[in-house]
């Protein structure tokens, strides 16, 4: 390709000047507009919700679940607390379909929890030791995810929810009796401050 000698001498400085101009425009702090600050330009910046008052939240949850058999609400401390929900009759056997008894408990818990934007809720599923260990682990995770979905549908922001499962690895008591197995089948809500 033949380029005129004058054009070749202008091309290199012109390209350099254009590249420098583009870089400068991208790096200019006031590129968005005069008076803007760096914080307001970032869409992902959020203000921290107020710190939870754990004792008050614990009292509201205890009042909401009063009369629900087997629901245990742990002691509140600086880091939060745990809520333990029996699920012996909470799911259809071997599935993630939530039965009315568990739906009722989750619905009454969701109301006070939805009003606490600074509380993170980690849902942990547990099973008994009947059946394969790997099947139980998968089932416990899937059940925790079903609980997360239900709580999200009741107004709790998804960013506050997480699901995990322990399968049969963390029993409360021996699985040797039916009573022990019933006690070990549970869902725990670990409440802590949203990071």
Q: How confident is the model at residue 93 (pLDDT cuts 50, 70, 90)?
A: confident
- The reported pLDDT for the residue numbered 21 is 61
Which residue segments constitute the domains of the chain, with CATH numbers given? 1-45 (no CATH), 54-193 (3.30.1330.60)
Query: Phi first, then psi: what are they for 74, rounded to 5°?
Result: -70, 170
User: What are the pLDDT digits (tens) for 14-23?
Assistant: 566 566 665 5
Q: From the CA atom positions of the chain, what is the Rg in Å?
A: 28
- The reported pLDDT for the residue numbered 48 is 79
In the predicted structure, residue 10 carries a pLDDT above the cut 70: no
User: How many of the other CB atoms lie within 10 Å of CB of 177?
Assistant: 10
Percentages (nearest 5) of helix, strand, coil residues in the chain? 45, 20, 40
Helix (H) or strand (E) holding 57: helix 54-65
Q: What's the pTM value of the predicted model, to 2 decimals?
A: 0.75
Sheet-wide strand order for 161-167: 72-73, 81-86, 186-193, 119-126, 161-167
Identify the sign of the CA torsion 163, 169, 173, 175. positive
């Amino acid at each position: 390709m033949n380029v005129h000698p004058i054009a070749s001498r202008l091309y290199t400085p012109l390209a350099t000047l254009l590249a420098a101009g583009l870089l400068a425009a991208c790096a200019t702090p006031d590129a968005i507009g005069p008076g803007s600050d760096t914080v307001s330009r970032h869409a992902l910046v959020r203000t921290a919700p107020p710190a939870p008052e754990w004792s008050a939240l614990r009292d509201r949850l205890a009042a909401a679940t009063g009369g629900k058999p087997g629901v245990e609400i742990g002691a509140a401390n600086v880091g939060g607390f745990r809520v333990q929900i029996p699920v012996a009759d909470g799911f259809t056997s071997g599935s993630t379909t939530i039965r009315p008894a568990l739906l009722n408990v989750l619905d009454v818990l969701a109301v006070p929890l939805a009003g606490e934007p600074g509380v993170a809720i980690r849902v942990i599923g547990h099973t008994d030791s009947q059946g394969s260990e790997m099947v139980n682990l998968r089932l416990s995770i899937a059940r925790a995810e079903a609980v997360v979905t239900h709580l999200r549908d009741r107004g709790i922001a998804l960013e506050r929810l997480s699901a995990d499962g322990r399968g049969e690895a963390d029993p409360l008591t021996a699985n040797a009796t039916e009573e022990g197995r019933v006690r070990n089948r549970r869902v725990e809500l670990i409440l802590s401050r949203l990071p």
